[in-house]
């Protein structure tokens, strides 16, 4: 698809055919990724269900622990995600040695990050007490983190290798490993939380330890695949692993840190919105969490599309193919936007059947249902924007353009979305609907600015510099 206006109907038809073909390639690449993300969501949901069976205090403690663990983990994952565009560019340019150094240094980066993060988890109890949490709850959260923190390094290793495998467009293995991890995680957590199969009852600590064991198994499985299976083994990723390349190491962090911060900016605004909902009322907060969970499920598909877009754009970038960059980026936005438009339609037309499975038979359930239905109507409005922003952000990552998108995310989410949501929620009759209006507006601003940036980048002159970006 040309990045300039077509000169004839025949050229328009050819451009449309190329777009359709690119969408097909993206779907083939993205489907296993999206399904794997759903699998990861299932792992987390299983943990929450089992801790809920163990007791409400255990569930609350794990939620508190994860509020500390997840932001740290996501920053590390963001750094490792830089491997996809760098490796894809090197592969497209047939620079296998460069690609091998990129993946190797990505694995190296997991070591200092883990070392810097662990003290945060070790000192979690006094940190949580210092910010006003109950000492008993903070102590249980500390127990969970003591069990879970051993899995951080495994998560980062798995993420780097997942990014490498995605760059090679061999995403099926990611799905297989993740799907195998779902029952493994359920079995291990059940045994360690409740003390089954001759193991001691470890409660909250067992939940964290079980998650760490599952993450370690996933990382080891991915290492084995990359080391022994074609086509990965011919790249010899683990050969001469001790050899450093500090220029590549710095480049990974220069591209990856803004990615991690962008992820944090997006994730934390939803955490902040939950705080505002808690000030409004408990039933509104419960409804908010239900609507947010449903929106999180639909988000897995455009997230998978986005990772596929990064690989496709990165390969076109490595070839110096300006039209290929534009084609992959716009195809990804078309797929993600179309899917989310359908999800928004479902949220708008049939919200109640989606919400009811989350409710019990208490007297408060009809009130929660009413609130959640209202929030889903607003969630329907931002579904398209959410799909567009994640696809556009990943397309820019394929061009190794990550710093400007980070600032765009900061402005849209925290400069527009959160202030507007707070003002509408606390100073108008909208209350919870005001929070969701702010979220929708923030996502729309981010989507618009990212799409415009990608458009301007791909509409430059043919002499457009497709070299590495920070």
- The three-state DSSP-derived secondary structure of the chain is CCCCCCCCHHHHHHHHHHHHHHHHHHHHHHHHHHHHHHHHHHHHHHHHHHHHHHCHHHHHHHHHHHHHHHHHHHHHHHHHHCHHHHHHHHHHCCCHHHHHHHHHHHHHHHHHHHHHHHHHHHCHHHHHHHCCCCHHHHHHHHHHHHHHHHHHHHHHHHHHHHHHHHHCCCCHHHHHHHHHHHHHHHHHHHHHHHCCCCCCCCHHHHHHHHHHHHHHHHHHHHHHHHHHCCCHHHHCCCCCCCCCCHHHHHHHHHHHHHHHHHHHHHHHHHHHHHHHHHHHCHHHHHHHHHHHHHHHHHHHHHHHHHHHHHHHHHHHHHHCCHHHHHHHHHHHHHHHHHHHHHHHHHHHHCHHHHHHHHCCCCCCHHHHHHHHHHHHHHHHHHHHHHHHHHHHHHHHHHCCCCHHHHHHHHHHHHHHHHHHHHHHHHHCCCCHHHHHHHHHHHHHHHHHHHHHHHHHHHCCCCCCCCCCCC
pLDDT at 12: 66
Residue with the larger pLDDT of the pair 274 and 414? 414
- Is 460 within a domain? yes
- 158 shares a domain with 50: yes
pLDDT at 467: 45
Is residue 359 predicted with pLDDT exceeding 60? yes
Q: Quick one: pLDDT band at residue 152, thresholds 50, 70, 90?
A: very high
Q: Quick one: pLDDT band at residue 9, thresholds 50, 70, 90?
A: low
Is residue 464 predicted with pLDDT exceeding 70? no
- 424 shares a domain with 359: yes
pLDDT at 7: 53
- Is 6 within a domain? no
Percentage above 70 pLDDT, the chain: 94
- 280 shares a domain with 229: no
Is residue 434 predicted with pLDDT exceeding 90? yes
Is residue 463 predicted with pLDDT exceeding 60? no
pLDDT at 21: 86
pLDDT at 212: 93
- Is 112 within a domain? yes
Mean pLDDT taken over the chain:
87
- Is 398 within a domain? yes
- Is 173 within a domain? yes
- 348 shares a domain with 235: no
pLDDT at 289: 79
Q: Quick one: pLDDT band at residue 468, thresholds 50, 70, 90?
A: very low
- Is 252 within a domain? no
- 237 shares a domain with 314: no
Is residue 389 predicted with pLDDT exceeding 90? yes
Task: Kindly state the average pLDDT of the residues 314-338.
Answer: 92
- 130 shares a domain with 184: yes
| End position of a domain, from candidates 210, 244, 278 | 244
Is residue 5 predicted with pLDDT exceeding 60? no
pLDDT at 270: 83
Is residue 15 predicted with pLDDT exceeding 80? no
- 209 shares a domain with 93: yes
- 268 shares a domain with 195: no
Residue with the larger pLDDT of the pair 405 and 360? 405
Is residue 401 predicted with pLDDT exceeding 70? yes
- Is 3 within a domain? no
- Is 14 within a domain? no
Is residue 219 predicted with pLDDT exceeding 90? yes
Task: Kindly state the average pLDDT of the residues 208-230.
Answer: 93
| End position of a domain, from candidates 244, 271, 300 | 244
pLDDT at 275: 78
- 293 shares a domain with 239: no
Count: domains in the chain:
2
- 161 shares a domain with 298: no
- 290 shares a domain with 201: no
Q: Quick one: pLDDT band at residue 11, thresholds 50, 70, 90?
A: low
Q: Quick one: pLDDT band at residue 419, thresholds 50, 70, 90?
A: very high
pLDDT at 406: 96
**Any idea which of 48-57, 113-122, 291-300, 400-409 has the lowest mean pLDDT?**
48-57
pLDDT at 10: 64
Q: What are the tens digits of pLDDT across the range 64-93? A: 788 788 888 989 999 999 999 999 988 888
pLDDT at 426: 92
| End position of a domain, from candidates 244, 269, 297 | 244
pLDDT at 29: 87
Q: Domain range spanning residue 345?
A: 258-470
- 461 shares a domain with 399: yes
pLDDT at 2: 44
Q: What are the tens digits of pLDDT across the range 252-269? A: 999 999 999 999 998 888
pTM comes to 0.86
């Amino acid at each position: 698809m040309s990045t300039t206006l077509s000169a004839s109907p025949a050229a328009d038809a050819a451009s449309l055919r190329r777009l359709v073909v690119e969408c097909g390639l993206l779907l083939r690449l993205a489907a296993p990724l999206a399904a794997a993300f759903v699998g990861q969501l299932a792992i987390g949901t299983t943990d929450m269900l089992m801790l809920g069976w163990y007791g409400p205090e255990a569930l609350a403690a794990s939620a508190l622990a994860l509020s500390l663990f997840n932001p740290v983990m996501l920053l590390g994952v963001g750094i490792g995600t830089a491997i996809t565009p760098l490796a894809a560019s090197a592969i497209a340019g047939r620079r296998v040695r460069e690609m091998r150094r990129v993946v190797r240094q990505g694995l190296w980066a997991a070591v200092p990050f883990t070392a810097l993060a662990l003290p945060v988890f070790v000192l979690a109890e006094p940190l949580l007490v210092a910010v006003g949490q109950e000492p008993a709850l903070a102590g249980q959260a500390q127990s969970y983190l003591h069990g879970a923190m051993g899995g951080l390094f495994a998560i980062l290793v798995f993420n780097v290798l997942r990014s490498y495998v995605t760059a090679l467009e061999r995403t099926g293995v990611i799905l297989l490993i993740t799907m195998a991890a779902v029952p493994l995680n359920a079995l291990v957590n059940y045994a360690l939380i409740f003390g089954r199969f001759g193991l001691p009852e470890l409660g909250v600590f067992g939940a964290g330890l079980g998650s760490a064991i599952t993450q370690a198994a996933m990382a080891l499985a991915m290492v084995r695949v990359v080391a022994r299976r074609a086509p990965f083994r011919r790249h010899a990723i683990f050969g001469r692993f001790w050899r450093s390349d500090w220029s590549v190491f710095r480049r990974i962090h220069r591209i990856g840190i803004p990615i991690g911060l962008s992820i944090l900016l997006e994730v934390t605004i939803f955490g902040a919105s939950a705080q505002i909902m808690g000030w409004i009322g408990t039933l509104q907060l419960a409804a908010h969490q239900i609507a947010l969970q449903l929106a999180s499920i639909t988000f897995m598909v455009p997230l998978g599309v986005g990772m596929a877009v990064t690989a496709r754009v990165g390969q076109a970038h490595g070839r110096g193919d300006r039209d290929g960059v534009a084609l992959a980026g716009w195809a990804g936005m078309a797929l993600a936007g179309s899917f989310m438009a359908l999800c928004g339609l479902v949220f708008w037309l049939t919200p109640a059947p989606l919400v009811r499975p989350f409710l019990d038979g208490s007297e408060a359930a009809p009130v929660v249902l009413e609130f959640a239905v209202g929030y889903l109507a607003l969630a329907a409005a931002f579904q398209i924007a959410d799909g567009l922003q994640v696809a556009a952000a990943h397309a820019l990552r394929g061009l190794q353009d990550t710093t400007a998108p980070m600032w765009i995310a900061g402005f849209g989410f925290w400069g527009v979305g959160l202030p507007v949501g707070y003002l509408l929620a606390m100073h108008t009759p909208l209350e919870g609907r005001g929070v969701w209006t702010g979220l929708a507006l923030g996502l729309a601003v981010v989507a618009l600015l990212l799409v415009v940036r990608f458009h301007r980048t791909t509409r430059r002159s043919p002499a457009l510099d497709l070299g590495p970006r920070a």
